[in-house]
Amino acid sequence: MTVAPASSEPIDGLWAVVPAGGAGTRLWPLSRSSSPKFLRDLTGTGRSLLQGTHDRLAPLVQDRFLVVTGRAHRDAVAAQLPEVDGAAIVAEPSARDSMAAIGLAAAMLELRDPDAVMGSFAADHVIADPAAFGEAVRTASAAARDGWLVTLGIEPTFASSAFGYVHLGDDLDGHPGAHAVVEFVEKPSVDVAEGYLATGRYRWNAGMFVVRPTVLLDLLAESDPAFAAALRAIAADPATLDTAWAALPKIALDHAVAEPAAAAGRVVVVPASIGWDDIGDFDSLATLLEDHDTASVTVLGDASLVQVSAATGLVVPAGGKMVAVVGLDDVVVVDTPDALLVTTRAKAQDVKAIVAALKDAGRVDLT
């Protein structure tokens, strides 16, 4: 008889909450408001980021999924995840930031499964080492069951100014691998980030939380009792979703719960080296996909559609036609049927300016 490795066994009572939102404007024209990042196969695996998130979590939670997405994307999410029961795909009437989305999932789970532990994992992240991820979630789930709000702390691979950080404190008694959180810190300058890395005591905050639903809602209630009550009322009577939703505060879970709870000593962190990436822009996508053995361009898609002479960077021939690149280093070329982007890896963050300009120019159809 074969014994499966520990990391592939389901975790008792763990529910995967998957917020599937975000415009991903820095990945335009691949990512659109009508077809956002999480619905796209950005890694060339044949699976979208949402599907990859599902595939990674299914061994841990089996069929205990709750996906929260925008109403416009509900059908696309359901089509991409035939394994997930339709009733487990919750459509927000409008985008009201992460506290409302994840808080509603918490309120629904609180009613449904008193023993539930929920893990919230965004639909548009990439994790290269799912086994290590599974182990980190297992450790986090055990601490969460004891009443902690648990975050995964991603080992930083460089001094990024694009992420918030979590400051590791003492080891947590009874939970090897978990630490107290001293504090969450906002996106630092690169200089400050370098100082963080030098200490070895800071991790990236990737917004991944594991917690008992009741603990999360009770923490929210400490700062905003009406918000927590409103979420619980919607869960108790889903018919009120449409009318109640628009009145909810628009605030990130980090600000509403995690930061004040950390200040109160209620948050712990499980450091995790899992090959995490949020594919924030085409520069990070190029890093994710590049083959360090070749000094040419990386192609996401059909390489027979790309001709290169003395160039490096990322080419996405998603328009189905030949793309030729001559004499440019670290270039980014993204061809789609109705829009083409040409930029550099260094300027990849500025792509959002194009999306804004297109809106100003009345070309919302292209955003």
Would you tell me which residues interact with its own copies (CB under 8 A)?
28-29, 304, 307, 309-310, 319, 321-328, 331, 333, 335, 337-344, 346-347, 350-351, 353-354, 357-358, 361, 363, 366
CA–CA–CA angle 134, 135, 141 (5° rounding): 85
CA 48 to chain centre: 13
d(CA 246, CA 199): 43
* 97-112 helix and 213-223 helix, angle to the nearest 10 degrees: 130
Q: How far is the CB of 363 from its own copies (least distance, A)?
A: 7
**Closer Cβ to its own copies, 176 or 362, answer by number:** 362
Rounded Cα gap, residues 274 and 258, in angstroms: 22
Cβ nearer to its own copies, comparing 255 with 352: 352
Least distance between its own copies and beta carbon 325 (Å): 5
Separation in Å, CA 17 to CA 11, 122, 210, 277: 14, 8, 10, 19
Q: Specify the length of the chain in residues.
A: 367
Torsion, Cα of 195, 200, 202, 203 (10° steps): 120
Query: Which is nearer to its own copies, 112 or 363 (by Cβ)?
Result: 363
Residue pair 257/99 in contact by the 8 Å Cβ criterion? yes
Dist CA 65 CA 210 (whole Å): 14
Query: CA 246 to CA 285: how far, in whole Å?
Result: 35
Nearer to its own copies, 236 or 322 (CB): 322
Cβ closest to its own copies, residue 89 vs residue 354: 354
Q: What are phi and psi of 19, to 5 degrees?
A: -70, 120
**Minimum distance from residue 31 beta carbon to its own copies (Å):** 14
Residue with tokens 């209630």: 221
The nearest distance, CB 277 to its own copies, in angstroms, is 22
Helix (H, G, I), strand (E, B) or coil at 150: strand
Q: How many CB atoms lie within 10 A of CB 92?
A: 22
Minimum distance from residue 282 beta carbon to its own copies (Å):
10
Q: What does the block give as tokens for 40?
A: 């796209």
Which residue, 200 or 320, is less far from its own copies as judged by CB?
A: 320
Nearest distance, CB of residue 247 and its own copies, angstroms: 37
The DSSP letter of residue 267 is E
Considering the complex, what minimum distance in angstroms separates the CB of residue 356 from its own copies?
10
> Based on CB atoms, which residue is closest to its own copies, 287 or 344?
344
Our CB check for its own copies shows the closer of 176 and 327 to be 327
Q: What is the β-pairing status of strands 276-277 and 126-127?
A: antiparallel
Minimum CB distance to its own copies, residue 307 (Å): 5
